[in-house]
Structure 1
Amino acid sequence: MQPPLTTERLIVRDWTTSDADVQAALAVYGRPEVTEWLTPVISNVTDLAAMRAVVHSWTESQPNLVPPTGRWAMQRRSDDAVIGGLVLRMLPPYAQDLELTWQLRPEVWGHGYATEAATALLHWAFTYDIDEVFGLARPDNTRAIATAERIGMEWVGETTKYYDTALQVYRIRQGDLPERPRSIETED
């Protein structure tokens, strides 16, 4: 995403292979309390070398993805700390359904960062030719469900269609997106 998106408190930007981004990614994806909720199910990344390889693959693939799909870092403006990540990707069987995911370091849960960043990302994503975006959550992932609802997503049912596990499905269409806050803009 060029240029990055900014909100009142956050910058949504491409991941880099810098030591700071790799360490920040490990602080998110190296935590079992984060990775246990990911779909498809993955193990947490256990060390810096493995995380470096993952971030490298993200940065290598990003230019080849068709917008609005991608993977971005969520950086706090007050201290430049990367506190999480956002993903827009095609759901299996990779034909038409677009999924939004968000992951945060556990110590910043409950501050509205995921809602703020995801809303900005959705405003940008809907400038492309897409009709809707889905959010998936395991039935007992109350945090993800609450975030999906705060973003403005509506519950549309439960399915095992995507990852062979029962998931709650939430959807947002452009007309359902909350009004864009004045603090959300694209940096020049």
Structure 2
Amino acid sequence: MSLELQTDRLLIREWKTDDAEAALRVYGTDEVTSRLTPELRPLSDAEAMRSVLHAWIEAGPNLMPPAGRWAIVRKDDGEVVGGLSLKLLPPYEEDFELTWALSPDVWGQGYATEAGRAIISWAFEQGIEEVFAVARSSNERAVAVARRLGMEWVGETEKYYDTRLQVFRLRPA
């Protein structure tokens, strides 16, 4: 689903294959990928990242709305600082999960919360009834972002990714 949202500091837009170098600063580091679910290995080079971006772009039109994957771009300098997605959680693909990943050099600046709020608000406008986030309990940053987004902790589960995860949920106010 094509999307472009703006916040005070950020632009949330579709990925482009030209974003490969910037995306690699996010998805090419173990510091980031070790925190994602399911656990991923960092991508090794810009060409590998370009292939992943190409796959994400190609898959986009086939996703069930409002699912998608987007780049998070800092407006003041045009730098891609991260990515986020709204996707159906396995195994039953009934619940929408919000995910986010940022380059470690911008951690702690509130970008994940700012981008997450924008996507959640937009997703609720599209008619979905709730959004979930899942995180390892050791991923204190992700748990903190989920709470700053107003998500409620609803428990722990191994249902989604065969590893024990904290589950957070947000419904429209």
TM range (shorter): over 0.9
Q: Kindly state the Cα deviation for residue 95 of structure 1 after the two structures are TM-superposed.
A: 2.9
Matches of 1:71 and 1:90, distance apart in 2: 12
Amino acid at match of 2:70: W
Matches of 1:51 and 1:95, distance apart in 2: 26
Amino acid at match of 1:60: E
Matches of 2:75 and 2:92, distance apart in 1: 34
* 1:114-164 CA distance string (max 9 Å, x none): 000010001100112311110001011000000000011010100011011
1:94-109 matches, cutoff 5 A: 94-109=92-107
Q: Would the alpha carbon gap of residues 96 and 3 (structure 1) be closer, same or farther in structure 2, given more than 3 Å must change? A: closer
Give the number of the structure with larger relative contact order, counting CA–CA contacts within 8 Å between residues 6 or more apart: 1
Runs of 4+ residues deviating >6 angstroms: none
CA RMSD of aligned residues (A): 1.0
Matched, 1:56 2:43: no
Amino acid at match of 1:72: W
Q: Which residue of 2 aligns with 1:122?
A: 120
Aligned residues: 173
Between 157-166 and 61-70, the greater mean CA deviation after superposition? 61-70
Matches of 1:150 and 1:41, distance apart in 2: 24
Matches of 1:8 and 1:64, distance apart in 2: 30
Amino acid at match of 1:160: E
Q: Which residue of 2 aligns with 1:164?
A: 162
Q: Which residue of 1 aligns with 2:14?
A: 14
Matched, 1:73 2:64: no
TM-score of the two chains, using structure 2 as the length reference: 0.97
Which of 34, 42, 45 in structure 2 is aligned with 1:44? 42
Q: Which residue of 1 aligns with 2:152?
A: 154
Q: Kindly state the Cα deviation for residue 3 of structure 1 after the two structures are TM-superposed.
A: 4.6
Unaligned runs of 5+ in 1: 176-188
Matched, 1:133 2:109: no
- SS state of the match for residue 126, structure 1? helix
Quote the sequence identity (%). Answer: 57
Q: Kindly state the Cα deviation for residue 41 of structure 1 after the two structures are TM-superposed.
A: 1.2
